[in-house]
Structure 1
Amino acid sequence: MSPIPRDARSVGDDPATGSLERAAALLDAFDAAHRELGLAKLVERSGLPRSTVHRTASRMVQLGWLDKPGDRYRIGNRLFELSGLVPVRHELREAVLPYLQDLYAAARTTVQLGVLDSARVLVVEKITGHRPMPMLSQVGGVVPAHCSGLGRVILAWSDEETIEAVVASGLSRRTPRTITSPEVLRRELVAIHERGWAYEREEGNLGVSCVAGPIFDFTGKVAAALSVTGPTAVVHPDRVGPAVRMASAAATRAYSTRRWAAPRPQLELPS
């Protein structure tokens, strides 16, 4: 499926538009399912004229923004180098990573870190160990906020404007279990707030469940979420929930103070 197109008329050959818009259109053509693209596919997915794509992509290769080993384009190493400077990765990830590692050691299944990005959750970090789950988004990928544990727990501590924006974007059905009613979703957010963590059972992917906890910044505003995600038979909320809540509290202390908490409590799942 092609990415959400920018207004094709605004990124074409019109001299009034900038080269940055054209470069952005090319970068938007790549995603987890399209990591390498030939010229024809890049033209199709960007919506730009072939001559514009060829000229812009060639310049992006020179700048290191794209790489072209052969006849296919891919994201360049320069963008990877710069990504480490993004605050959500440099500050949030570095503060929270030790607690993600602790949580993985306790749960022994995939753990993730995400932030809200419009109506979606951007996956900032992910630890899978030796049991990868290819149906889950990779780091840098996005998942819908309304039917993911990460998104739900962030929304449970968000303001009404943020919740309304997610509802207005459409509560699409991913599986037969997905909540698509705004009223039911709002009731679930209230329950999550009271409980302290979110439990999502097979709403994003059949056979996969998730328990997620919030991470707050120094102002007390929800900034991110971490989660344990795995096969429904493995992710039991009564066992995983307390560990997730402990990890999210520890991660909040580390992130909100911008320093490492020591010593870190060891997380253990109830037998």
Structure 2
Amino acid sequence: MNSVLGKVRPILEAFTEQDSSLPLAELVRRTGIAKATVHRLAQELVDWGLLERDGCDYRLGLRLFEMGQRVHRQRILREVAQPYMEDLLLVTHETIHFAIHDALDVVYLDKIFPHRGLNEESRVAGRLPLHCTATGKAILAFSPDSLFLQVVRHGLKPVTRHTVVSPGRLRAQLDRIRADGIVLESEEIRLGYASLAVPVFGRDSSLVGALSITAPTYRMDAVKHATALRTAALGIGRSLR
């Protein structure tokens, strides 16, 4: 926080997915940085295109979007995964996610859904916890045990009443996922919804992410969807190799 970048970061991160714009006073409150400093840095960020003025408020600038599209690894993964995700959507008519691991979360690189699909909770570039999402569990199961220990140390916070918060139960789930190669998560992240996920492996059999199908629990057919999901994940892996 003592450096310029240390102050710029919380200003940019003050914006959540729910915020179209924020007034200066709210930026000051969320960052804890002096008003004069926030005002000066915000003006510089506007000059750089990282922020834009929205009347008297500020919003994230188009320059950030342009820069985000240049992140090579994530862009390649997304471009490779998209055709297989579209095929999976045509087969299942349910919401399809492709996620990667970052810190203790999954980050969604892509999401496609039909008119009746899930349009809340998850979003492209959004984050959700590893321990209670299907994609997160698939990634955890095939990652080094040190990641599991980090997740447990951080705390298995409940999102719904069905979220697994016992380290023993979570470890048992991961053991089963490694044996089966697939995970079914039911109502741990959102009541009334379930997700089916598989890991995706790239070059040298390295884990690159996870692919999932999300549907209302009454529509989720794990047996029917498992083959299509595995086929799509294998296709993404072959293309990456």
Shorter-chain TM-score category?
over 0.9
Q: Tell whether the 8 Å contact from 2:117 to 2:215 is kept in structure 1 after alignment.
A: no
Q: Tell whether the 8 Å contact from 2:118 to 2:214 is kept in structure 1 after alignment.
A: no
Would you say 1:174 and 2:159 are equivalent positions? yes
- Per mean C-alpha deviation after superposition, the further-off stretch among 221-230 and 131-140 is 131-140
How far apart are 1:227 and its partner, in Å? 0.7
Partner of 1:149: 134
Partner of 1:85: 70
- Give SS of 1:146's match: helix
* 2:57 aligned to which of 68, 72, 76: 72
How far apart are 1:72 and its partner, in Å? 1.9
Partner of 2:90: 105
Unaligned runs of 5+ in 2: none
Unaligned runs of 5+ in 1: 1-10, 12-16, 258-271
CA–CA distance in structure 2, aligned partners of residues 151 and 232 of structure 1: 19
**CA-to-partner distance for each residue in 1:193-224, whole Å, 9 max, x for gaps?**
11111110000100011001111121212111
| Deviant stretches of 4+, over 2 Å | 131-135
The code of the aligned residue for 2:120 comes to M
- Give SS of 1:177's match: coil
Would you say 1:235 and 2:238 are equivalent positions? no
How far apart are 1:43 and its partner, in Å? 1.1
How far apart are 1:88 and its partner, in Å? 3.7
How far apart are 1:132 and its partner, in Å? 4.4
Would you say 1:208 and 2:189 are equivalent positions? no
- Give SS of 2:158's match: coil
Partner of 1:6: none
% identical equivalent positions: 35
Q: Name the TM-score, length of structure 2 as normaliser.
A: 0.96
How far apart are 1:139 and its partner, in Å? 0.9
* 2:122 aligned to which of 137, 142, 145: 137
**CA-to-partner distance for each residue in 1:89-108, whole Å, 9 max, x for gaps?**
31111111111111111111
Q: Name the TM-score, length of structure 1 as normaliser.
A: 0.86
Q: Tell whether the 8 Å contact from 2:184 to 2:196 is kept in structure 1 after alignment.
A: yes
CA–CA distance in structure 2, aligned partners of residues 43 and 35 of structure 1: 17
Would you say 1:246 and 2:231 are equivalent positions? yes
Q: Tell whether the 8 Å contact from 1:109 to 1:230 is kept in structure 2 after alignment.
A: yes
